[in-house]
């Protein structure tokens, strides 16, 4: 196979990368690969511990896609065994353990979303239950003999928990060894992970060395901040952009990215060339944000949907218009009290918020309009009729009260 020149490959690989352990080894492998026509084996482990992914998860997926586009073998390793334990990375308490059935269900939905970033059809898909399910208890004991407790406790999250007197389960100490053993089984040349995964990736290097293999190159990418500009992107924090978000919602969320985060979003989540990113970031923030939102929406929904999202955004927020489509909801009879429903409850019915208490917080914060008029009274009641409810600039619903 004909691979691109080494410098061109390095330019693609280096973009958005924090750790590269080590680059000289990577260059040697790329040269050998180019001479032999044999692609590198590039591994990304994915624990299907939840059903949905957001753009924060796609950063490592896009880096694997970069290697794939350069002609190398992308290995998607489904952690069907490790997911049952739960990765302790960055956690201040033990994760709940999952059943095999829950892991498999998550994998099916996760796979569809991963396919929006990677060409799954040409990737090598594996599951680490292939080797862990057949191992005996004594095999596991032998694996744990590869590292000392002191070495495992060097891991930042373990060290903090140990010093704070927080409990650490024994199975959590085994997790890095299991992830490292995956690299031995796959004979990985390269492993990709977030910066919080560097310890685990380095364990893989050590185990490969002990097994007589050439230690893998470790590549890490940043943990992207969420829409609040401070915390990492997280569904539980509500500061995320979902891979499955509708075009209008995805575009609108991207427009709320902080100015400070724009450069990293461009670099990690789009294919916009570096030189163009510099031009955009140096220019007007709003114009740059529109291009960012358009680029991301186009990746997941196509050029036409992205163009429509731009046009609708302009109409709604520059001309004060409404979305083309607004979902309608019906209040049921058992939700009525004293001839109506609290506005907070109506917001929950219209899926503008998750609960009555969330609705009260929105109202109190001054972010709710009813038929275009701001409402700040948490006790407001909607009686019989159809109401246009709005929260912020992106969330709309029509709610019918019988």
Is it the case that residue 339 has pLDDT exceeding 80? no
Domain boundaries, the chain: 6-221, 247-318, 328-401
Is it the case that residue 267 has pLDDT exceeding 80? yes
Instruction: Please compute the mean of the pLDDT values over residues 384-400 and round it to a whole number.
Output: 85
Tens digits of per-residue pLDDT, 58-72?
Answer: 999 999 999 999 999
**281, exposed or middle or buried, with CB in 10 Å at 0-12, 13-18, 19+?**
middle
pLDDT at 86: 65
CB under 8 Å to 168, separation ≥6 — which residues?
A: 88, 94, 158, 161, 162
CB under 8 Å to 383, separation ≥6 — which residues?
A: 339, 340, 401
CB 250 within 8 A of CB 300: yes
Sign, CA dihedral 83-88-90-92, equals: positive
CB 307 within 8 A of CB 248: no
Tens digits of per-residue pLDDT, 154-213?
Answer: 776 677 777 777 877 777 788 889 999 999 999 999 999 999 999 999 999 999 999 999
CATH of domain 328-401: 3.10.290.10
Same fold, 6-221 and 328-401: no
**For helices 247-254 and 285-301, angle between their N-to-C axes, nearest 10 degrees:** 150
CB 158 within 8 A of CB 93: no
d(CA 226, CA 369): 26
Homologous superfamily of 6-221 in CATH? Answer: HUPs (3.40.50.620)
- Grade residue 318 by pLDDT with cuts at 50, 70 and 90: low
- Averaged pLDDT score across all residues of the chain: 88
d(CA 220, CA 223): 9
- Grade residue 48 by pLDDT with cuts at 50, 70 and 90: confident
Tens digits of per-residue pLDDT, 76-102?
Answer: 999 998 888 766 655 545 556 778 888
Q: Within 13 A of 58's CA, how many CA atoms are on the CB side?
A: 26
Spell out the CATH class of 247-318: mainly alpha
pLDDT at 365: 83
pLDDT at 95: 57
CB 224 within 8 A of CB 251: no
CB under 8 Å to 348, separation ≥6 — which residues?
A: 354, 355, 356, 358, 359
pLDDT at 319: 60
Tens digits of per-residue pLDDT, 361-381?
Answer: 888 888 888 877 778 888 888
- The helix (run of H) or strand (run of E) holding residue 242 is none
């Amino acid at each position: 196979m004909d691979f691109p020149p080494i410098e061109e490959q390095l330019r693609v690989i280096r973009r958005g990368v924090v750790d590269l352990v080590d680059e000289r080894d990577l260059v040697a492998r790329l040269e050998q690969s180019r001479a032999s026509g044999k692609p590198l084996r590039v591994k990304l482990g994915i624990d299907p511990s939840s059903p949905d992914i957001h753009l924060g998860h796609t950063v490592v997926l896009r880096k694997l896609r970069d290697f794939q586009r350069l002609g190398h073998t992308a290995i998607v390793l489904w952690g069907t065994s490790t997911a049952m334990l739960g990765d302790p990375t960055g956690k201040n308490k033990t994760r709940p353990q999952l059943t095999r059935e829950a892991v498999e269900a998550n994998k099916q939905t996760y796979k569809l979303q991963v396919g929006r970033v990677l060409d799954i059809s040409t990737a090598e898909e594996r599951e680490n239950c292939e080797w862990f399910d057949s191992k005996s208890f004594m095999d596991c004991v032998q694996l744990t003999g590869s590292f000392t407790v002191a070495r495992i406790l060097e891991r930042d999250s373990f060290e903090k928990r140990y010093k704070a007197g927080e409990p650490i389960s024994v199975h959590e100490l085994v997790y890095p060894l299991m992830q490292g053993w995956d690299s031995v089984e796959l004979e990985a040349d390269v492993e990709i992970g977030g910066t919080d995964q560097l310890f685990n990736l380095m364990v893989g290097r050590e185990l490969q060395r002990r097994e007589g293999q050439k230690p893998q190159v470790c590549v890490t990418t940043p943990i992207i901040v969420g829409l609040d500009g401070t915390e990492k992107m997280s569904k539980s924090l509500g500061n995320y952009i979902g891979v499955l978000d509708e075009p209008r919602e995805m575009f609108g969320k991207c427009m709320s990215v902080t100015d400070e985060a724009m450069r990293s979003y461009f670099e990690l989540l789009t294919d916009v060339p570096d030189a163009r990113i510099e031009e955009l970031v140096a220019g007007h923030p709003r114009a740059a944000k529109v291009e960012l939102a358009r680029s991301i929406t186009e990746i997941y929904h196509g050029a036409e949907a992205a163009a429509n999202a731009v046009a609708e955004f302009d109409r709604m927020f520059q001309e004060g218009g409404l979305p083309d489509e607004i979902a309608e909801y019906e209040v049921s009879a058992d939700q009525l009290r004293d001839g109506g429903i609290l506005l907070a409850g109506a917001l929950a019915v219209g899926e503008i918020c998750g609960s009555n208490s969330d609705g009260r917080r929105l109202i109190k914060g001054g972010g709710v309009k009813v038929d275009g008029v701001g409402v700040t009274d948490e006790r407001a009641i909607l009686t019989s009729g159809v109401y246009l409810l709005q929260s912020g600039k992106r969330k709309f619903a029509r709610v019918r009260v019988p």
